[in-house]
């Protein structure tokens, strides 16, 4: 189809004639790709909860205009929508019907996210009815280990880890720029414990934790309700496409989060986007190859090299620690600070530390299964973890677990 096809009512003119001022509040609409392209994208961000279909006039007009000027596939990107109601869904359905008669050769791809789960089911029905429609669920296929680190069983791992890490982390947070009265976002907040500890010790003005695990968020919200805490919220969302506004936080954290993504730069970009100029971004990353111990030194080395290798197969980098400084520099931050949190059985509660290592049995078993390791590999990893626990508990034994904490300032210039 040539690029000269004109829309019936002219570019930018809403088909229903309703002025743009009737657009639902808090909606951003962006069209990319340009006229006559094989592919164009219309991205909707924010809240799409019209009372009546007419409030969708501007959206409809942009979609129709893009449909007329796209040759191959029109992507309707809804992955950053925070809310959508059925009025909006029905209007999008009507748009699909309009395309099937006005531009029958055009393909439509809806990009959705599990932030609005009911919409996935409904768009699947549309895709079954119209062969030209496909849907892509943005956050379904992040990486194969995603389900593991987001399910209830992982709660135990995070709880035991957090207790130990906080003891070593809290003293340095002021050096990284944390002080009372800030607006904080904790991205990949897990169980939300960190946010609660910050609330207790640093008295922020407001703190929001974002995570992609529903069981973790349930846990976090329950905790906040149990303790009657105020100024803390938890939001379900995707760190790669946060539903938080630009330049809106003084301090943005992502702890042990970058390492679970195969494209951590994309997450850093989002952290930067929501941080205000002059605010700081704080991240922590493990260095698995730095986990060393005595007496079974070789078994330690083999075990954690194997875990790193399986992590790579599954799209994670559990050896990110040493790259912390360069990641922050490459993201465009300034005034970079990095320090090593060395957690070992000499400076930590050994019972708690042994529990942390024992909890890793669950994760490593899952990693072995998902990366299709033979049973003997899993057996040897279990031996390695046992050796780690023994090193912690035996007199004369030593075991160290390094985590790198780094922060940088978002420049005032863009
Ligand atoms: C290793 S845990 C770290 C959790 C927490 N920051 C801590 O230090 O205990 C990684 C976290 O990233 C979350 N996560 C994974 N993919 C995510 C995504 N796409 N968006 C937001 N959170 C995600 C997981 O649910 C998990 O809570």
pLDDT in tens, the chain (414 residues): 222 222 333 333 333 333 333 344 466 777 777 666 788 889 888 888 899 999 899 899 999 999 999 989 999 999 888 889 999 999 999 999 999 999 999 999 999 887 787 888 899 999 999 999 999 887 655 666 777 777 777 888 898 899 899 999 999 999 999 999 999 999 999 999 999 999 999 999 999 999 988 889 999 999 999 989 989 999 998 898 898 999 999 999 999 999 998 889 999 999 999 999 999 999 999 999 999 999 999 999 999 999 999 999 888 999 999 999 999 999 999 999 999 999 999 999 999 999 999 999 999 999 999 889 999 999 999 999 999 999 999 999 999 999 999 999 999 976
Protein residues with CB under 6 Å of any ligand 1 atom: 139, 142, 146, 149-150, 158, 161-162, 188-190, 210-213, 216, 238-240, 255-257, 260
Residue 228 contacts residue 296 (beta carbons within 8 Å): no
- Residue carrying structure tokens 């919409």: 119
405 closest CA partner among 322, 259, 284, 318: 284
How many Å lie between the centroid of ligand 1 and the Cα of residue 239? 9
Provide the angle, in degrees to the nearest 10, between the axes of the packed helices 117-129 and 86-102.
20
Please choose from 114, 168, 212, 319 the residue to mutate so as to test ligand 1's pocket, defined by most ligand atoms within 8 A of CB: 212
How many Å lie between the centroid of ligand 1 and the Cα of residue 376? 30
Closest atom of ligand 1 relative to the 255 alpha carbon = 6
How many Å lie between the centroid of ligand 1 and the Cα of residue 195? 13
How many Å lie between the centroid of ligand 1 and the Cα of residue 189? 6
H or E stretch at 176 = none
- 34 backbone φψ class: left, alpha, beta (φ>0; ψ -120 to 50): left
The dihedral over CA atoms of 186, 192, 194, 195, expressed in degrees to the nearest 10, equals 60
> What is the pTM assigned to this prediction?
0.79
Rounded Cα gap, residues 269 and 338, in angstroms: 19
Rounded Cα gap, residues 248 and 1, in angstroms: 44
Kindly give the pairing relationship between strand 398-409 and strand 292-294.
Answer: antiparallel
């Amino acid at each position: 189809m040539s690029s000269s096809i004109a829309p019936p009512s002219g570019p930018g003119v809403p088909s229903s004639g309703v002025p743009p001022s009737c657009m639902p509040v808090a909606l951003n609409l962006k069209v990319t790709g340009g006229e006559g392209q094989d592919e164009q994208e219309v991205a909707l961000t924010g809240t799409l909860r019209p009372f009546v279909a007419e409030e969708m006039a501007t959206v409809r007009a942009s979609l129709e205009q893009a449909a007329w000027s796209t040759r191959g596939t029109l992507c309707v990107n809804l992955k950053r929508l925070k809310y959508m109601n059925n009025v909006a869904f029905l209007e999008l359905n009507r748009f699909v019907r309009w395309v099937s008669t006005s531009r029958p050769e055009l393909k439509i791809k809806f990009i959705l996210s599990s932030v609005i789960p009911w919409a996935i089911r409904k768009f699947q029905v549309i895709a079954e009815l119209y062969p030209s429609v496909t849907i892509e669920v943005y956050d379904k296929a992040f990486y194969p280990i995603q389900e593991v680190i987001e399910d209830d069983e992982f709660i135990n791992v995070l709880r035991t880890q957090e207790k130990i890490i906080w003891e070593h982390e809290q003293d340095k947070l002021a050096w990284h720029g944390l002080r009372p009265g800030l607006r904080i976002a904790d991205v990949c907040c897990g169980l939300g414990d960190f946010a609660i500890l910050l609330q207790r010790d640093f008295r922020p003005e407001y703190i929001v934790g974002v995570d992609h695990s529903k069981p973790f968020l349930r846990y976090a919200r329950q905790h906040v309700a149990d303790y009657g805490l105020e100024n803390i919220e938890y939001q379900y969302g995707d760190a790669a496409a946060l539903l938080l506004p630009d330049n809106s936080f003084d301090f943005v954290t992502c702890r042990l989060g970058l390492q679970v993504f195969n494209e951590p730069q994309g997450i850093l970009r989002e952290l930067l986007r929501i941080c205000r100029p002059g605010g700081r971004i704080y991240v922590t990353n493990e260095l698995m190859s730095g986990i060393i111990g005595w007496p079974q030194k070789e078994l330690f080395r083999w075990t954690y090299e194997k875990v790193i290798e399986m992590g790579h197969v599954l799209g994670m980098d559990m050896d990110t620690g040493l790259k912390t400084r360069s990641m922050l520099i490459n993201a465009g931050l300034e005034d970079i600070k990095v320090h090593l949190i060395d957690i070992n059985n000499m400076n930590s509660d050994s019972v708690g530390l042994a529990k942390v290592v024992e909890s890793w049995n669950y994760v490593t078993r899952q990693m072995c299964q998902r990366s299709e390791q033979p049973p003997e590999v899993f057996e040897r990893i279990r031996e390695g973890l046992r050796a780690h626990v023994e090193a912690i508990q035996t007199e004369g034994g030593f075991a160290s677990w390094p985590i790198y904490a780094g922060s940088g300032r978002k420049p005032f210039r863009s």
